[in-house]
Amino acid sequence: MNAWSCDRVQDVLPDHVAGRLPRLDAEAVAGHVAACHNCAAEAALVARLLAGQPDVPAGMAPRIQEAVRQGRDRTAAAAPRRWRVAAAAAAVVFVAAGGWLWLGGGNGPAQVAGAWDPLPRDWPTGDGMMAGAPVLQDLSVEVIMALLEEMEP
Amino acid sequence: MAHEPFAAFSEREDPDAELVARAKKGDGEAFDALVERHHAAVFRAAFAIVSGEDEAADAAQGTFLKALVSLGGFRGDSLFRTWLLRIAANEARALRRRVLRRREVPMDPVAQGADDGASRVESALGAGELVRLEAALARLPEKQRMAVTLRIYEGLSFREVGEVIGSSEGAARVNYHHGIKKLREWLQ
């Protein structure tokens, strides 16, 4: 028996049996197994298990690749739709916020003298988006959320 | 005991790194190559958890679809193969739960296997080597079965096995050796 312990050999038996060990290690393990009844029995079991591994169904890889392709296509088709919904939602929120400020709502930072105002109160009229603001202003959050949900594909 | 005389080839560097990088950028051919390379391991990992070839194939397909969606979040902290097999194990467990709910069977088939495993092994005697091996493996607790099959079929290191089954490297080694010990007893 050589310097390899049974524990060490049994750790690497799967690699030895499958031929995955570097040559020098393989020789050392083979030498140990030849002289050790216990490790030889375990090597035989490992070989049986390796030989008995389940067969992969024929044509599985192409089937998965096709499913992945279909999944990718669906994602790609859905992406612009999702983008449009997100843009529409952003526009609704933007218009609602603008209308709220335009109508004098809010006593927060926008009213603080000298503070930077992202939505100036003298926002020019005639903007198409502004036209919808008073209507949206009257809608509750629940109704706006319902509208957004209806916009979902 | 903790000594490992060599690093499994996969631990030196991730052989999938280039394909993964390309697949992350939307290269379909690179992802196809990853499917080609790993579908067998994914199938076998799923097979160790679910019951039957069809379910394992379904779990394998689900694994790659999930991997496609999650690939952007893969940071390379583990090997791609390990990451994929972890998804496969989760996918197979989820599928098993769904199947059991559908069948309204109250007992986990693996636990059931542990209960009647002896009779299954005995009844399978003479019915072919593959059936005997399968019945004996089914009798092991899931972590031991996973450790044995991932170590033997796929050549995963104990560290990788631990990452897949959610345990430390040491626990993976213990699970493997306990599983082998029982199999030797049952299959001698």
- Of the candidates B39, B65, B149, which has its C-beta nearest A61's C-beta? B39
- Please enumerate, as own/partner, the contacts of B171-180 that have beta carbons within 8 Å and a separation of 24 or more: B172/B147, B173/A11, B173/B1, B173/B2, B175/B143, B175/B144, B175/B146, B175/B147, B176/B144, B176/B147, B176/B148, B176/B151, B177/A10, B178/B144, B179/B140, B179/B144, B179/B145, B179/B147, B179/B148, B180/A10, B180/A42, B180/A45, B180/A46, B180/B148
pLDDT at A75 over 60: yes
Cross-chain Cβ contact B187/A67 below 8 Å: no
A98-149 pLDDT tens trace = 777 766 665 544 444 444 444 444 443 333 333 334 444 455 555 555 555 5
- Of the candidates A22, A42, A56, which has its C-beta nearest B43's C-beta? A56
Question: Which residues of chain A are within 8 Å of residue B151 when distances are taken between CB atoms?
Answer: 14
For position B101, what pLDDT does the model report? 86
For position A150, what pLDDT does the model report? 57
Cross-chain Cβ contact A49/B148 below 8 Å: yes
* Span B16-23, average pLDDT: 97
B113-158 pLDDT tens trace = 444 444 444 444 445 888 999 999 999 999 999 999 999 999 999 9
Model ipTM value:
0.82
Question: Which residues of chain B are within 8 Å of residue A69 when distances are taken between CB atoms?
Answer: 28
Task: Say what the pTM is.
Answer: 0.71
pLDDT at A82 over 70: no
B44-98 pLDDT tens trace = 999 999 989 999 999 999 999 999 999 999 999 999 999 999 999 999 999 999 9
Cross-chain Cβ contact B35/A69 below 8 Å: no
Question: Which residues of chain B are within 8 Å of residue A7 when distances are taken between CB atoms?
Answer: 1
Cross-chain Cβ contact A46/B180 below 8 Å: yes
- Of the candidates B60, B65, B69, which has its C-beta nearest A60's C-beta? B60
Lowest mean pLDDT of A38-47, A84-93, A139-148, B133-142, name the range.
A139-148
